Chain A
Amino acid sequence: MEKNYYVCTGCGLLCDDIEVESEKNIVNKVYTACRVGVAHMKETRDEAGFRVDNTPVDEVTAINEAVSILKNAKNPLIFGLGNSTDETQKLAIELAKKINATLDDTSSFCLGPLSEALIQDKLKTCTLDDVRNKADVIIYWGTDPSDSHPRLLSKHSYFPRGSEKQRGWEEERTEIAIDVRKSHTAKICGNYFFQIPPKGDAEFIDALIAGLSGKLPKTSYNYPPKKLLELANILKGAKFGVIFVGRGLIYSIEDLEPLFKLMKVLNEKANFHLIPMVSSCNIVGFNEKLFAETGYVNSVKFEDGTVKHGPEYSIVESLKAKTVDAALIIGTDPFSILPHSIVKNLLEIPVISIDHCETLTSKHSKVYINTTISGVESGGSATRMDGVKVSFEPVFETNHPSEEVILKKIMEAL
């Protein structure tokens, strides 16, 4: 029987095996997707909406107001795009070039440096299918996939059988969790859970490197050397090791040096790869496109054909220094995800919010345009957290415009 599979764009996993039952533009039942995926695909939809200054208007008025804001801005900011399709992202980059904007996405304060290192081939990576087929030792470092990417363990990393791993998780795979608290994932890893104190990651890495080289592993917090040596031995024996890195590790180290050192030693003794736990469905796509275009993955400013780059062009520093005078926010909610101490400056400039639902940001925007949920109401393609491209079709079409359509109209009017 031919099955119609849809793609869930709820998180960085982009699960492409979701069956959906729908009727008259309402999703009734979702099979196989996790709790978050189901909530994402079943999000209730109001009528298509456009607002200017909190008053409902029609599409043309909203677009014209947005265009006027962008035209009058000396240094506009375009931010978001982590949940947007490849087509939307391409348009946004073109738009940023056209209006000499600052362009940034959430990776500038999340896993950006790691994604950059992987795109530049400075660190070894692999696909999630490789993990399923070959991985025997897997580490979850500073991340809790059971809560953020619920199907990671069941679809790719621990439980499924793969072409070279046919005998099952009990016999052939070892899962290790390194974290500051006993998360849900750590519980599944059982005895292979290594609890370290907050900010203790850099020292743990040094101690692990010592252990891997046969030296006594020492940390200032007296982590039991015996346990560290046990871990080192497991890693040494890995035929295809994978480390899933989350923000817990990235925020704890000053820069990526400790990770580079660790991966170098691990690859001298064994065979290890790294995958970042990217949270949204197409952040990797944005990083790759911007890199291809400019040589940088985020935080850029376009100026009359040239590109400038640096942390000063990230959304956080731009808001702190108040260098931007208008903002086009696409598919994200800075008022929820950024510290209030920084994002409150966004209240002082006109904001255009393009999103599929009301958010804290849309409620405080001058212009709000309600768009489609990709994968449910509009199609396109996106890049999974491991760099694999996934295309998707909509389940049904509604009268909501897609982000792509809105950006096209804004660009035409400029």
Chain B
Amino acid sequence: MDFGSFLTTPEIKIKIITYRDIFQDKAMRENRFGEEYKNLSAVIKLDPADLKQLNVKKGDTVILKNSFGRVVVRAEESGYETPHRGIAYMPKSPWSNMLVSDETGGTGVPKFKDISVTITSAKGEKVTELSI
């Protein structure tokens, strides 16, 4: 039990791994400024136990925050059989890119698959709009 779950708005530390989703890609090519692309991209897939600890139901919005950015996305259950508490999955998108660090060690390669955020319930706040 970490201290975060005793706060009135529980927050947990999560590592995010990004992945490719074919329907999100299709929606981007059809209309990257449309609702369908937003609905398929601004999503985070969590372990059900993490959802419970956050007091969030699937379909609710959550805030993802770190020192590089803050976005509001929809929380969903990952549906993976193997439990993966502390790890969550997001389709690679401008939303996930808001949270990627600018640390590259001079290599020119950002840490795309090494994103750490704290996640809390957004209490009804709407999904962040697509913008810069």
Contact = CB atoms under 8 A, between A and B. Distances in A.
Partners in one complex: yes
Interface of A: 10, 34-36, 38-40, 43-44, 108-109, 144, 146-148, 150, 180-183, 195, 198-199, 247-248, 251-252, 299, 311-312, 314-317, 320, 335-344, 347, 357-360, 364
A312 to B, nearest CB: 7
Contact of A337 (B17, B22, B97): B97
Contact of B102 (A35, A311, A342): A342
Interface string B119-132: 00000000000111
B14 interface: no
B113 interface: yes
A146 B17 contact: no
Contacts of B113: 198, 247-248, 251-252
B19 A181 contact: yes
Given A35-B23, A36-B29, A340-B100, A360 B94 contact: yes
B54 interface: no
Nearest to B79: A182
Interface centre among A311, A338, A341, A357 (most CB of B within 10 A): A341
Given A43-B29, A312-B106, A182 B81 contact: yes
A317 B97 contact: no
B35 to A, nearest CB: 16
A359 B130 CA distance: 11
Q: How large is the interface on B (under 10, 10 to 19, 20 to 34, 35 or more residues)?
A: 35 or more
Nearest to A341: B102
A246 to B, nearest CB: 9
B87 to A, nearest CB: 7
B23 A316 contact: no
A146 B21 CA distance: 9
Contacts of A36: 22, 25-26, 29
B110 A342 contact: yes
Nearest to A182: B80
B61 interface: no
A338 B110 contact: yes
Those 5 A-B pairs whose CB atoms lie nearest each other, nearest first: A314-B108, A339-B100, A341-B102, A311-B108, A39-B29
B17 A317 contact: no
21 contacts: A36-B22, A39-B29, A40-B29, A108-B109, A109-B108, A144-B20, A147-B19, A147-B21, A147-B22, A150-B22, A180-B17, A181-B89, A311-B107, A316-B104, A317-B104, A336-B94, A339-B97, A339-B110, A340-B97, A341-B69, A357-B32
